[in-house]
Amino acid sequence: MSDIAQSQSHDPLRLTLREQFLKIGSLPARILADETALAHLRALSIEDPSIEQANARKALWQVDDCIYRLATSNAITTILDDLLGEPGYYLWGAQLVDRSPGENHGWHTDIETAREGFVSVWIGIDGASEETSVSVINGSHEVSAPLQAFWPSEHAARLDPAAREILLHPELSGVSGPTIATCANGEGIFFDGRIWHGSFNRADRARRALLLQYGKHGTPVRHTASFDAFPFQYHPSDNPLTTPVKGDPDPVANKTVIRQPDGALAYPAAKVCARPELAEEAEKAWEMYPYFRIETPIMKWFSCHASVLGASYMPHTPHEHKDEEVLVLLSGEAAIFAEADSSGALRVNKAIPGDVFYYPPGMQHTISNLSASGASLRYVMLKWAGRSGRTQKVDGFKIPARAHDGEKRLSIDRPSSGLDKLHIHSTTLAPGKGYGRHIDRYDTAILVLSGELSMLDNKLGPGGVFYTRAGELHDTRNTSAAPCHYLVFEFHAMAN
Ligand SMILES: [Fe+2]
Ligand SMILES: [Fe+2]
Ligand SMILES: [Fe+2]
């Protein structure tokens, strides 16, 4: 077997390897020549309670430094760079697989990876030989369905090492027979996540292999909910942790953690928040207080600002724009002018603190201060353009303050122009109460309306806005002595 990792430096050959992989779905390679690493992997006891659970969940990269280093080493990534390409890829699975003499794992397709965008790497660790190594059926990644679609779990054809019946499948015409991946410890095979494969230990000694599994950024990986059922069933919420190997992760598709130098795993922490300094200056016509402008996995850009508007002023004549916008009135009495229908006529809406308005792209709108007493009014604006660039036609809407007053708990889902869903809810937290640290698959803006709210190490009072990008760690807690009332806006990405 040639040392493919070494031959990667020749560009013409790299193309050939990729083409070979795309065509037949597998690629043999010498992967692990390091005797110290091999000795470590042989010695790991997968019955050890600290290892057992991680191994069962294919999560050894999370607990074993040697496996993490091997899984992200050049020996593997120089090949994966070629096979998975842009926009990069993540590691999700690492498992030691022991097979005692006579033990078989019949022909199958790996359930978690039975779609395009996955590559697995099988490496012989101990007792690897022609009689014990994994066998793959080249070309099977291009068959229209996983193997389990044609042969259910108890079918005898799945236990024939020569795969005689399976090879008669019409979509496999021209395939000569199963390829045995490797013959020696340290050697192995890269294979497409959809490939049909099996393990048959025909030797009189045990065999150990290491399976490493990778996915392309943007491709969701899910734990299986049943090993027998077809169509495959995936766990709805217990999804594997992933860690980026190359390129930027997609936190909408997967839960992403970063491995710290000390081996600990951490979600990136939320850090966008703005503390308002909104002066009560009645003489000012209009003062804008920028909070932040950011890019996120969901948003091409998202900006947030607050404004103070003097009595009887209007910041601009009615305007429209390509972006989506939400206005929340914090204080004062306002008139909201917004297009009522396609005739272009503007309707005037009286607004009180706590009212929320959504303006879709192309809808004319403005605000004016109605106060008779001369008081200025204050409001917060959220404005954004979704990352997908696609839009749908939606109407503007208003949520009256009374919908989230006092004990009433608001919770609504609305379609938005550039998002699958704009979810809005309100929460009142009693002193000391909160929600523990977690991540979400969507971006979130939290606007404090009264009291004081803490997120991680930041505190904000009324008018303050926290923003967490999808995949960023955050919590909320009321660390003050008074109740805290806030509005939550969830921005759910447009599906691909
Ligand atoms: Fe498998
Ligand atoms: Fe606007
Ligand atoms: Fe959250």
Beta partners for residue 306, in sequence order:
289, 380
Tell how far the Cα of 110 is from the centroid of ligand 1, in angstroms. 5
**Same domain for 279 and 229:** no
Same domain, 348 and 375: yes
pLDDT tens profile 63-89? 999 999 999 999 999 999 999 999 999
Question: What is the DSSP secondary-structure string of 115-127?
Answer: STTEEEEEEEEES
Q: How far is CA 104 from CA 60, 180, 207, 330, in A?
A: 23, 14, 11, 67
Q: What share of the chain is helix, strand, coil (3-state, %, to 5)?
A: 15, 40, 45
In DSSP terms, 347 is beta-bridged to 338
The pLDDT assigned to 162 comes to: 94
245 with 362, same domain: the answer is no
Query: Do 365 and 232 reside in the same domain of the chain?
Result: no
Å from CA of 317 to ligand 3 middle: 37
DSSP 8-state class, residue 95: E
- Mean pLDDT for the chain overall: 91
Question: Is residue 24 left, alpha or beta, with left meaning phi > 0 and alpha meaning psi from -120 to 50?
Answer: alpha
Answer yes or no: are the C-beta atoms of 49 and 22 closer than 8 Å: no
Ligand index nearest the alpha carbon of residue 396: 2
From the CA of 93, the nearest ligand is 1
Protein residues placing their CB within 5 Å of the ion ligand 1: 110
| Shared-domain flag, residues 327 and 445 | yes
- 402-411, 423-432, 456-465: range with lowest mean pLDDT: 402-411
Instruction: Tell how far the Cα of 442 is from the centroid of ligand 3, in angstroms.
Output: 9
Please tell me what DSSP assigns to residue 159. G
- Identify whether residues 213 and 283 lie together within a single domain: no
Comparing C-alpha atoms, which of 197, 110, 107, 120 is closest to residue 156?
A: 107
Identify the band that residue 3 occupies on the pLDDT scale cut at 50, 70 and 90: very low
| pLDDT, position 1 | 40
Could you tell me the CATH number of the domain that includes residue 216?
A: 2.60.120.620
Q: Do 246 and 358 belong to one domain?
A: no
**Rounded distance from Cα 104 to ligand 1 centre (Å):** 11
Q: List, as ranges, residues with CB under 5 A of the ion ligand 3.
A: 440
Q: Check: pTM over 0.75? Answer yes or no.
A: yes
Asked whether residue 371 carries a pLDDT value surpassing 90, the answer given is no
306 and 240 share a domain? no
Same domain, 306 and 423: yes
> What separation in Å is there between the alpha carbon of 325 and the centre of ligand 2?
6
Cα(162) to centroid(ligand 1), Å = 17
Q: Closest Cα to residue 494, out of 415, 383, 412, 394?
A: 415
Q: How confident is the model at residue 12 (pLDDT cuts 50, 70, 90)?
A: low
pLDDT at 8: 45
Cα 11 from chain centre: 33
Spatial contact of 133 and 183, defined as CB atoms under 8 Å apart: yes
C-alpha of residue 113 to centroid of ligand 1, in Å: 10
The residue-averaged pLDDT of 161-185 equals 91
Q: How far is the CA of 246 from the centre of ligand 1 (A)?
A: 24
CA of 76 to the centre of ligand 3 (A): 36
Cα–Cα dist 363/304, whole Å: 19
CA of 8 relative to ligand 3 center, distance in Å: 44
Q: What is the Cα–Cα distance from 277 to 331, expressed in whole angstroms?
A: 14
For residues 379 and 367, the answer to whether their CB atoms sit within 8 Å is yes
Percent of the chain with pLDDT over 70: 95
Evaluate if residue 15 carries a pLDDT over 80.
Answer: no
Band (343; pLDDT cuts 50, 70, 90): confident
From 266, 300, 328, the end of a domain falls on: 266
Rg (CA), the chain: 29
From the CA of 442, which ligand is nearest? Answer: 3
DSSP state of 380: E
Per-residue confidence at 409, pLDDT binned at 50, 70, 90? confident
C-alpha distance from residue 225 to each of 145, 239, 441 (Å): 19, 11, 21
- Residue 352 CA to ligand 3 center (angstroms) comes to 28
Answer yes or no: is pLDDT of 310 > 50. Answer: yes
- 88 CA distance to ligand 3 centroid (A)? 27
Residue ending a domain, choose from 220, 240, 266 = 266
Which domain-ending residue is among 244, 266, 288? 266
Ligand 3 centroid – CA 177 distance (Å): 51
- Residue 48 scores a pLDDT above 80: yes
Any idea which ligand is nearest the CA of 443?
3
- DSSP, collapsed to helix, strand or coil, labels residue 344 as coil
The Å distance, Cα 335 to ligand 2 centre, comes to: 14
Ligand 3 centre to CA of 456 (Å) is 12
- How many angstroms separate the CA atoms of 247 and 56, rounded? 28
Overall domain count for the chain: 2
Pair (405, 276) in one structural domain: yes
Residue 261: pLDDT over 90: no
Looking only at the bridges linking them, the beta strands covering 356-359 and 397-399 are antiparallel
User: Residue 4 has what pLDDT?
Assistant: 45
My answer on whether 31 and 17 are in the same domain is yes
Give 126-167 as a DSSP string: ES-STTTSEEEETTGGGSSS-GGGTS-TT-GGGG-TT-TTGG
Decide if pLDDT at 281 tops 70: no
Supply the CATH number for residue 437's domain.
2.60.120.10
- Measured over the CA atoms of residue 142, residue 147, residue 148 and residue 149, the dihedral's sign is positive
Residue 314 Cα to ligand 2 middle (Å): 12
Expressed in angstroms and rounded, the spacing between residue 77 Cα and the centre of ligand 3 is 34
Could you tell me if 262 and 174 lie in one domain?
yes
Residues spanned by the domain of 191: 4-266
> Is 90 exceeded by the pLDDT of residue 183?
no
Q: Which ligand is in closest contact with the Cα of 425?
A: 3
| Ligand minimally distant from the alpha carbon of residue 267 | 3
Q: Which ligand is nearest to the CA of 472?
A: 3
DSSP H helix total and E strand total for the chain: 7, 32
